[in-house]
Structure 1
Amino acid sequence: MLDLICPKVKRRMFFTSLAFVSLFKLLSVDAHASTTDAQTPIDGGDAIFANASSGAIIADNFSVASDFDFEALTWWGSYDTSDTDDFIIHLYGDAGGIPGASIYSYSSTSVNASTTLLTDISGAPVYRYDFNLPSPVSLTAGNYFLSITNETTQSGWYWLNGSGGDNQQWALASDGITWAPASASDLAFSVQYTETAVVPVPPAFLLMMSGLLLVGRNARIVNIG
């Protein structure tokens, strides 16, 4: 007995199989979703002195539930008097709920500063700062800590308080090693990133498509004996 499939039916089966493979790939590829994790600046809020040269180093945390590409950063702050910016940005891992090892650091004067309508607790104008990383940084899901200082030379720079976090910030002790709880407040910043988690194909969908292909194949075979 010889099983043959006529050319027309064979083409239908081929394109049905191709459609199934295409759907499988479509549903199992990386899902890219641009996201912003923000702690909103507080108008009239307090602001924390942040200058590494003076030993004033503070950090605040953010968490991402899936793997992601860290792409850009925004934060808010004020001055005693306006000064030339020289920002140092550190990203730390998590060490049991406190800042851990430094993962990445950036020293940049190429930060885009712009005026806002906000003021801090002393009435000083608040500025917004935007920084695009030189290239995206791929990170796994988890908790991270962000530290920003401004190495101004003539006046102090202050990182504005924000809202929307866990009401906790951390300060680096004078030994340059130990982090300790600082002010019970958030710092104003937002992290822009793209999630890169793989979306799984639903098992029920795979079973359904496999069954349809099997039924279609058996129904279109021509038996010659």
Structure 2
Amino acid sequence: MRTRTAILVITFFAIIGAVFVEVTITRTSAISPTPSLLTATSTATLSTPQITFPFPTNYGLATTQEQILAKAYIPPCNEPFNYCLYYNGSAYKGTNFESAGLRIERRSDLTTSESCLTTPPANRSRLSATTTPHTGYATSVFSPLGDAAAGHYANGALYRLFFNGTCYEFETRVGETQFANYPPGAIQKFTDANRQAVFAGLQSILDRVTITSTGARVQFPAS
């Protein structure tokens, strides 16, 4: 097995100023016999001054909507975001699967623990949060989140992390097209099991989010 390591440093300007992102990609020659979001053949690590987490390299990393290479009617991440991790694999090609992504945004407008953890997502004023306190940080989740338009729909959840006066927002999303809109035999159905596997892959990224300064692995509430 041959291992190759590459380091990519991305500099971008966002509302929080100049931020340096280090992405370290380690590749191996192993190939999974059954492609899935749970077993990637290589991984990368996104590191910021606040949070660090690895993610499979069958995901792309974007800091603007234009950088998202996986184009879909319902995009994997809605703006605004600081980072978008979007699925760019081929495991579900030929099905009504459309997109999957993890949107990450530093919410500079939510400056207190209460506002960070309990302020509902935009246009979801009736959606309440499940909050969980931890030593040195706190988390919450708003679920379920859905969206639909012209034969397309998406499902997901929105998570928040508050620590040291900083609020981070993480939104998972899986987009699909209506299977019934296709002629019989034109495509395969993106099944419930497929959907669960995609969400499990997104959850596995969330489960490895680490606070850089303390090394604490973040525990989010179940959606």
**TM-score tier (shorter):** under 0.3
TM-score (norm 2): 0.25
Structure having the higher helix fraction is: 1
In the superposition, the TM-score normalised over structure 1's length comes to: 0.25
Q: Which has the bigger relative contact order, CA under 8 A and spacing at least 6?
A: 1
